[in-house]
Amino acid sequence: MKELQDGVTRLLAHAVKAEIESESCPTWLRRPGRIECLAMWETVSAIYGALTGLVLPGLAPSRERRSLDVLLTYENGEQQILEVDEKQHFTGARALTLEYYPAGVKLGFDASQWLARSRALTGREPGGGFGKPKPPMFPGDGGRHRQRAFRDALADLLPPVHGWLPTIRISDTEVTAITSAPDAISSLRALLHERGVPASYLVFG
């Protein structure tokens, strides 16, 4: 799974004019609570409640930590998250989160495609460590699936309210198509432009 992320990261240096950081995270997304969620607090709370039947705490537990696949910082200072989503990101829990997204929310991927695949794979989620309990916020069987879906939702919904560009998502099947293309860099560049990255932020030639 790490190979997919690494494959995209290697190509990014030739496709975008940006500083590229792997396995990093902005401070407001490490342990987001009411303050960090800003105008998205009600939506985020509703998503958490639907996933768990619990009330989202206004302050995240101190043990909550995370890192993102890639952070991009463009030459003009604008910043953007890029995530590579493997199969375990497409689950019934993820479908539920996507159904709660507000109309008009800014995204760097086609949410309808993510929703359709998540629904198609509902009930076929991987077991073992992929679905183990993750207390205190995601107890019980399937806790890791719910945690992953919730964290994906936070990474989608919070960046625009913090002045960041919409989060880009690239699926595992898209990564495979890009890396196997005759010109992988051009293939990635085209996908990034399709996902909303301005041409001025891309490397051509």
Residue 23 gets the label, from left (phi > 0), alpha (psi -120 to 50) or beta, of left
Instruction: Find the domain containing 140 and state its range.
Output: 2-201
**Please, which pLDDT band fits residue 113 given cuts at 50, 70 and 90?**
very high
- Other C-beta atoms within 10 Å of 39: how many? 11
8-state DSSP, 137: T
Beta strands in the chain (DSSP E): 18-24, 68-74, 79-85, 168-171
Flag whether the pTM goes above 0.85. Answer: yes
d(CA 150, CA 43): 11
d(CA 13, CA 83): 15
Q: How far apart are the first and last CA of the chain?
A: 30
Number of domains in the chain: 1
- The string of pLDDT tens digits covering residues 120-168 is 999 999 888 888 999 999 999 999 999 999 999 999 999 999 999 999 9
d(CA 19, CA 6): 16
Bridge pairing between strands 18-24 and 168-171: unpaired
Under 8 Å between Cβ of 115 and 128:
no
Under 8 Å between Cβ of 46 and 159:
no
pLDDT confidence of residue 61: 84
